[in-house]
Structure 1
Amino acid sequence: MSQLDNCPNCGQIYIKNAFREVCETCYKEEEAKYNTVYKYIRQRENRTATMDQVVEDTGVEEYLIIKFIRKGRIQLAHFPNLGYPCDRCGRIIREDKLCQNCKKDIHGQLSQLEREEERERVIREEGKTYHVINKKF
């Protein structure tokens, strides 16, 4: 469902929906910048450009290029020197949201947490004492 919101770029009121995160004016500007970036990186000599080179040569802000990549508008398979930052540590990656080191670290922390919870469960169960009365008649 659509709702009124202020554009995060310019502050203008616009109708926010699932397809646009900015007002019509800013959307058109972003589209023009996307076209500039895409035309630049599609040229054979620029396919191996780094993020810094693309920013410098096109004048488009890095955060916008990253936005285009994350939305899937720029496919990294065709551009080997482009990437975007890991959501956790900022290292440049080419897929997913986290780098391999952060994934490994988070999995390790989750495993440790599971082991600690299992140990606490065992301690709680062992702490229960059951008395059995064995009477001989």
Structure 2
Amino acid sequence: MAELANCNYCGKLFVRTTTNVCPSCRREHEQLFDLVYDFIRDRDNRMASVPEIHEATEVEEKLIYDWIREGRLTPAEFPGLKYPCKSCGTMIQSGQLCTSCQKKIQTELRTFTEQEKKQQEVQKNSRTYYTKK
């Protein structure tokens, strides 16, 4: 369903259908994507990292990271492509979180679950006594 929204890049008001980017920014981004893709498709540049691509093409690193996250540029094809973990910023090639952040979250979740079970047992085993006044 179409609705009015502000473009995430330029701030202009537009009718949003599928993306958060206005048509003019989308066209510009497509041209920039083609520039980046042509650069890394060259055999000499296949191992280029995002900062190297940015330096050579002058395309914002944020846009390149977005394209990697969207799957438009894949680290399987271009091994030098990495993007920051959403939690700690460590460079990764897949997913949203690095392995250490995933383990940390799993450990915290396990600890929380164990504490919840203990609280439920205490509540289940505790008795309340009432007296008459």
Amino acid at match of 1:62: E
Quick one: distance in 1 between partners of 2:89 and 2:72? 21
Quick one: distance in 1 between partners of 2:10 and 2:114? 49
* CA RMSD between the two structures: 1.4
Q: TM-score, normalised by structure 2?
A: 0.92
Shift of 1:64: 0.2
Superposition misfits of 4+ residues, deviation over 6 angstroms: none
Aligned length: 129
Amino acid at match of 1:6: N
Quick one: distance in 2 between partners of 1:33 and 1:76? 19
**For residue 118 of structure 2, what is the aligned residue in structure 1?**
119
Matched, 1:21 2:20: yes
In 1, are the aligned partners of 2:74 and 2:81 still within 8 Å (CA)? no
CA displacement, residues 11-45 of structure 1 (integer Å, 9 cap, x when unaligned): 22211122x22111111110000000000000000
Matched, 1:96 2:95: yes
Quick one: distance in 1 between partners of 2:44 and 2:118? 59
In 1, are the aligned partners of 2:82 and 2:93 still within 8 Å (CA)? yes
Amino acid at match of 2:108: Q
Amino acid at match of 1:16: R
Shift of 1:104: 0.1
**For residue 105 of structure 2, what is the aligned residue in structure 1?**
106
**Alignment partner of 1:55: what SS?**
helix
**For residue 33 of structure 2, what is the aligned residue in structure 1?**
34
Amino acid at match of 1:33: L
Shift of 1:125: 1.3
Q: TM-score, normalised by structure 1?
A: 0.89
Match runs of 1:26-65 below 5 Å:
26-65=25-64
**For residue 80 of structure 1, what is the aligned residue in structure 2?**
79
Quick one: distance in 2 between partners of 1:29 and 1:43? 22
Larger radius of gyration: 1
Structure 1 vs Structure 2: percent identity of aligned residues? 38
Quick one: distance in 2 between partners of 1:89 and 1:59? 26
**Alignment partner of 2:5: what SS?**
strand
**Alignment partner of 2:95: what SS?**
coil
**For residue 66 of structure 1, what is the aligned residue in structure 2?**
65
